[in-house]
C-alpha cells in the first residue's frame, strides 16, 4: 500500500525543514496543508518555504492562489487527493506538511458529508459579526459546542460562521458532525509529530517573528491593506499590523501582539495534535534521524 507521511507540529517548530529532508531522502514530493501558504502575496507572514527550499524538493499547494480567490477545505481535499494519486502513480511514498489541522485531517480521514451553507443562517451570523463583533460569534459557538470551540481558530470568522451554521441546520454539535464515518483512503498515513518543550516553542516563535520583521513583513502587509477584509488576511501577523497602520497601536506593541497571538495559536495546535490518533513523536533537535529510524522500524514490521 502507498504511504503518506504527514508531518505535524506547532508553528515554527521545523516542519518545513524535516519535510524537505525526508522528501530528498525518499526521492518524493511534498504537498502543503498550510491553508495560509496557499496565497502567493503572503510569503513572509506565513513563513512560506523560500525559493531555495522550494528548489530542494517539489512542492504542491504553495503560492498557488491569490488572496481574492475563494478556496474551501472541501475543494482542497479533492485537489490534494488528485495530486496524491499523481504522485503515487510514480512513487510509493509522499510527504504532507503544514500547520492547518483541519486541512490535514481532510486528506487523511476525509471530510464529512456536511450540508451547504444556509443563506439565511449566514446572513444572521454576518449581521452579528458586523454589528456586535467576532466575540459574539465566539461566545455563541462556545455555548453550542465547547469541544470544537477549544480547538478552532477563534480569530477566523469563516470557521466560526460555518460551525454555527452546521449546528443550527443539523441539530447536532459540529464535533458530532465531524465524527461521522467517512470513506476509507487507499493509502496508509504515518503521522510524525515534532515535539519540543513549550518554552522552546515560544522562544522559536518570538525569534521567527523578529526575522519576519527583518525580512520585510511591514512592507508585505502594507501592500495588502486594500484586501484586508479578505478571509485569507484575518491571520496573525497581518491583522495586528493593520491596526498599527490605522494608528491604533504603535509598532512595538503590534509586534508583541503578533508574538502573543502566535503563541496562542501554537497552544491550539498542541491541543488539536494531542487528540489525533497514531502520532509518532520525534524530538525537534534530532527530528530527521529519529524520523528515519522510525520509518525503518515501521517498514521492517510490515515485512
Binding-site residue ranges: 9-16
Kindly state the cell numbers that stand for 287.
527530528
- Dihedral sign (CA 53, 55, 58, 62): positive
- Beta pairing partners, 32: 97
Binding-site residue ranges for ATP: 9-16
C-alpha to C-alpha distance for 172 and 137, rounded to whole angstroms: 18
CA distances in angstroms from 273 to 5, 49, 102, listed in the order given: 15, 22, 11
Binding-site residue ranges for substrate: 11-16
- Dihedral sign (CA 234, 240, 244, 247): positive
Interacting residues of 257 by C-beta distance below 8 A, sequence separation 6+:
240, 249
Amino acid at each position: 500500500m502507498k504511504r503518506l507521511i504527514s508531518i505535524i507540529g506547532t508553528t515554527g517548530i521545523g516542519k518545513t525543514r524535516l519535510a524537505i529532508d525526508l522528501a530528498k531522502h525518499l526521492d518524493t514530493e511534498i504537498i502543503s496543508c498550510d491553508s495560509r501558504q496557499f496565497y502567493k502575496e503572503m510569503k513572509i507572514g506565513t513563513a512560506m518555504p523560500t525559493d531555495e527550499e522550494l528548489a530542494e524538493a517539489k512542492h504542491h499547494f504553495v503560492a498557488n492562489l491569490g488572496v481574492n480567490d475563494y478556496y474551501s477545505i472541501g475543494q482542497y481535499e479533492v485537489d490534494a487527493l488528485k495530486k496524491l494519486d499523481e504522485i503515487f502513480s510514480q512513487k510509493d511514498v509522499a510527504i504532507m506538511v503544514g500547520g492547518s489541522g483541519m486541512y490535514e485531517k481532510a486528506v487523511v480521514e476525509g471530510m464529512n458529508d456536511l450540508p451547504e451553507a444556509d443563506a439565511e443562517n449566514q446572513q444572521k451570523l454576518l449581521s452579528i459579526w458586523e454589528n456586535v463583533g467576532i466575540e459574539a460569534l465566539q461566545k455563541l459557538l462556545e455555548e453550542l459546542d465547547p469541544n470544537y470551540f477549544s480547538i478552532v481558530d477563534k480569530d477566523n470568522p469563516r470557521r466560526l460562521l460555518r460551525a454555527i451554521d452546521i449546528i443550527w441546520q443539523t441539530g447536532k454539535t459540529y464535533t458530532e458532525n465531524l465524527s461521522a464515518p467517512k470513506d476509507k483512503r487507499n493509502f496508509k498515513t504515518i503521522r510524525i509529530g515534532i515535539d519540543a518543550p513549550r518554552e522552546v516553542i515560544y522562544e522559536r516563535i518570538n525569534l521567527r517573528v523578529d526575522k519576519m520583521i527583518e525580512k520585510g513583513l511591514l512592507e508585505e502587509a502594507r501592500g495588502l491593506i486594500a484586501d484586508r477584509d479578505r478571509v485569507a488576511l484575518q491571520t496573525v501577523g497581518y491583522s495586528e499590523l493593520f491596526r498599527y497602520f490605522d494608528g491604533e497601536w504603535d509598532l512595538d506593541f503590534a509586534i508583541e501582539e503578533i508574538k502573543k497571538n502566535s503563541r496562542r495559536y501554537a497552544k491550539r495546535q498542541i491541543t488539536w495534535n494531542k487528540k489525533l490518533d497514531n502520532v509518532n513523536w520525534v524530538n525537534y533537535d534530532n527530528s530527521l534521524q529519529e524520523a528515519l529510524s522510525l520509518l525503518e522500524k515501521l517498514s521492517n514490521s510490515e515485512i
